């Protein structure tokens, strides 16, 4: 990958939205940062789960605190994330010419 492409690609854990083209389905320029928080949270929880001494329960309180704090940080973006997911789903599904009408 060239250096120019490196600058255009979003880093998943440290996005630079001002230097990258965002996908059309992102409904806000905050979405890459929110996703970076979620990815980090997932990596952190996986790292704790993989520890040999994790079964002893001493990390449970740390995980509870971390999840509580992350929830507070991510909660304001729940609607924007949902809208982005809907937009992404709409772009991935083929358009229906007959419409999706349920029949009994």
What is the residue range of 50's domain? Answer: 3-91
Q: For residue range 25-34, what is the model confidence (pLDDT) as tens digits?
A: 887 888 888 8
- Cα 29–Cα 67–Cα 81 angle in degrees, nearest 5: 25
Write down the pLDDT at residue 96.
59
In this structure, is residue 100 part of a structural domain?
A: no
- Global confidence as pTM: 0.57
In this structure, is residue 103 part of a structural domain?
A: no
- Closest CA relative to residue 88, chosen from 7, 27, 19: 27
Q: For residue range 34-77, what is the model confidence (pLDDT) as tens digits?
A: 888 888 888 888 888 787 776 677 778 888 888 888 888 888 88
In this structure, is residue 72 part of a structural domain?
A: yes
């Amino acid at each position: 990958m060239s250096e120019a492409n490196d600058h255009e690609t979003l880093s998943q854990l440290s996005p630079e939205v001002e230097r990258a083209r965002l996908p059309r389905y992102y409904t806000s320029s905050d979405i890459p940062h929110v996703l970076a928080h979620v990815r980090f949270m997932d990596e952190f929880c996986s790292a704790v789960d993989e520890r040999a001494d994790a079964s002893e329960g001493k990390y449970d309180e740390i995980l509870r605190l971390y999840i509580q704090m992350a929830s507070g940080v991510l909660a304001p973006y729940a609607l924007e994330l949902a809208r982005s997911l809907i937009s992404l789903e709409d772009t991935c599904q083929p358009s229906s010419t007959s419409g999706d009408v349920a029949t009994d």
